[in-house]
Amino acid sequence: MTPETTAADPEFEALRVRYLQVYLSAVTDALDRRGLDHQWLGPAIKPLEPSTVLFGWAFTVQWSSNPELVDPNRTSARMLDALVPDHVVMIDTGSNPDVGYWGELCCNISLRRRVRGVVIDGGLRDSPHVLRLGFPAFCKFTSPLEATGRSRVVRYQQPIFIGQVPIRPGDAVFGDLGGVVVIPREIVYDLIEEVEGIVGKENRLRRDIHEGISADEAITRYGRI
């Protein structure tokens, strides 16, 4: 049975729906409370389409721009063939400043396999096509330059870093217009309870602000503004 024909995972779908109803700052607040205050990938990685909200399991990929490396085993092709549903492709580009590492064809393959999106520590190709496909993509910049011939995949589904954030295969990935955070798989189910509590409290604060509560009373009642 191919990945695109496998049955949907109802437990994942239920969790995904809950995360898609919250927002990044509430997630980072909950992570901060657990001492995990360096899970955000930084300000440069943003969604191609601003309204995008992303959740899935990390499928990690590491590229290298070392010109001496060759790829007789077509590692990039094998990586694409290894994609599985409900994952987000997380690409460490080695900080390449100008190459696009994911484009229309990769998106089409990913859509067939129910991959939930891609996060690139670098460039995205074919951005008009990616937008038309509606494939969730986060990147630092867009580029027409193809990675093949300039870089190669050196490994996939192994731990990587993007910035200073460690990412393991299977960790959870959440993103919106504020950027992307990585949530350790071990806490992802417990964390959503905390996040929903934060969102509920902030919704009550919003209501009180609209009803004219003073800033001083807001701090007394909620501990923050």
Q: Of 167, 166, 183, 163, which Cα lies nearest the Cα of 175? A: 183
69-128: per-residue pLDDT in tens?
766 557 889 999 999 999 999 999 999 999 999 999 999 999 999 999 999 999 999 999
Helices (H), the chain: 10-20, 24-33, 75-81, 104-112, 127-133, 188-210, 215-222
Q: Which 8-state DSSP code applies to residue 49?
A: S
Q: What per-residue confidence (pLDDT) applies to 221?
A: 79
Q: What is the CATH number of the domain that holds 49?
A: 3.50.30.40
Q: What per-residue confidence (pLDDT) applies to 40?
A: 98
Does residue 186 carry a pLDDT above 90?
yes
C-alpha–C-alpha distance, residues 1 and 119, integer Å:
27
5 part of a folded domain: no
β-strand partners of 57: 87, 172
Does residue 180 carry a pLDDT above 70?
yes
- Parent domain of 97: 35-181
**Count of domains observed in the chain:** 1
89 part of a folded domain: yes
Name the least confident of 145-154, 166-175, 190-199, 209-218. Answer: 209-218
Does residue 1 carry a pLDDT above 60?
no
| pTM for the predicted model, two decimal places | 0.92
111 part of a folded domain: yes
